[in-house]
Amino acid sequence: MTIIDGKKTAAEIKKEIAAEVNEIENKGGRAPHLAAILVGHDGGSETYVANKVKACGECGFRSSLIRFEDDVTEERLLEEIKRLNEDDGVDGFIVQLPLPKHIDEQRVIRAIDPDKDVDGFHPVNVGKMSIGLPGFVSATPAGIIELLRRYGVETKGKHAVVLGRSNIVGKPMATLLMQKANPGNCTVTVCHSATPNIKEICREADIIVAALGVPGFVTEDMVRPGATVIDVGTTRVPDATRKSGWRLRGDVDFDNVAEKCAFITPVPGGVGPMTICSLMMNTLKAYKG
């Protein structure tokens, strides 16, 4: 059994990016620039955005954090997006989700210039991915593909089961795994809250990508020996032994599942660090145009 070390892989990739940025600057070019819009003070979003800003520093990127309070109007947000779209000094930007209820998330996403949409959430980028054209791919599935590539996980002809159908993870993950590419070329089954026989389907899987947000959902009896298990879950669960009072728990019952697997990602330190790394790769790509 191999534990896929996302933290180590992400650190290696960030080093590779930093070396490339250094070379660009040595030749007189400017550093890539990522901007992030953060609305409100949600604990999870604050942490994610802080980590994105930190990763920019590690890659030698410039970063800008633009903050709004919870009561910001949709019009004001759209105005800021227009400004970023038109700012030649900004290569890519993200609007951290979720947004407050009074704001139409899809309208906000559609306002982003697809060429600056380093999250890969704009329908143009989703469409390009689905027909195999170059564009920006959502960071979490892109990071998982990179892990499969770097660890040499065989995917061709395998049965991949994706648990969850979110626009950010489940759907793009299924699309990428079925793509005629390497990694890819899988036969893909997507399971969700209305799937009656998830356990049986998982038992048939060579690769399981768990992105449900249900801690410990994938148990030992659902995993075939030699399977590859990728855990996207990052739920905060109470933990009195921690100073914070919580810890992150994945969708996989790691302690009991790990020994059956060929490859498995831990939580934390698996998919999470790669997600931010993909955003950095997308930003470099946006810079290069």
| Residues designated as active site | 52, 96, 119
Nearer to ligand GUN, 213 or 256 (CB): 213
Binding mask 159-178 for ligand GUN (x = CB under 6 A): ---------x----------
Residue list 16-55, contact with ligand GUN (CB under 6 A): none
Strands 2-3 and 62-68: unpaired
Nearer to ligand GUN, 232 or 257 (CB): 232
How many C-alpha atoms does 211 have within 13 Å on its Cβ side?
Answer: 23
**Quick check: 146 binds ligand GUN (CB under 6 A)?**
no
Please provide residue 197's backbone torsions phi and psi, each rounded to the nearest 5 degrees: -120, 50
| H helix or E strand, kind and range, residue 220 | none
| Min CB(210)–ligand GUN separation in Å | 16
Strand order in the sheet with 92-95: 62-68, 33-39, 92-95
Q: Which stretch binds ligand GUN (CB under 6 A): 68-76, 90-98, 122-130, 152-160?
A: 90-98
| H helix or E strand, kind and range, residue 74 | helix 74-86
From candidates 94, 112, 174, 223, binder to ligand GUN by CB under 6 A = 94
Q: Measured between alpha carbons, how far is 130 from 137 in angstroms, rounded to an integer?
A: 10
Helix, strand, coil share (%) of the chain residues, nearest 5: 45, 20, 40
Nearer to ligand GUN, 57 or 98 (CB): 98
| Min CB(123)–ligand GUN separation in Å | 15
Q: Residue number with the shortest CB distance to ligand GUN?
A: 97
From candidates 65, 97, 248, 262, binder to ligand GUN by CB under 6 A = 97
Residue list 107-126, contact with ligand GUN (CB under 6 A): 119
| Min CB(39)–ligand GUN separation in Å | 11
Cβ(47)–Cβ(248) under 8 Å? no
Q: Residue 289, exposed/middle/buried by CB under 10 A (0-12, 13-18, 19+)?
A: exposed
> Could you please report the per-residue DSSP string of 6-66?
HHHHHHHHHHHHHHHHHHHHHTTPPPPEEEEEEES--HHHHHHHHHHHHHHHHHT-EEEEE
From candidates 39, 55, 56, 95, binder to ligand GUN by CB under 6 A = 95
From candidates 139, 191, 205, 230, binder to ligand GUN by CB under 6 A = 139
Nearer to ligand GUN, 119 or 251 (CB): 119
Residue list 208-247, contact with ligand GUN (CB under 6 A): none
| Min CB(70)–ligand GUN separation in Å | 16
Cβ(118)–Cβ(92) under 8 Å? yes
Judged by CB under 6 A, how many residues of this single chain contact ligand GUN?
7
Q: Which residues contribute to the site for ligand GUN (CB under 6 A)?
A: 94-97, 119, 139, 168
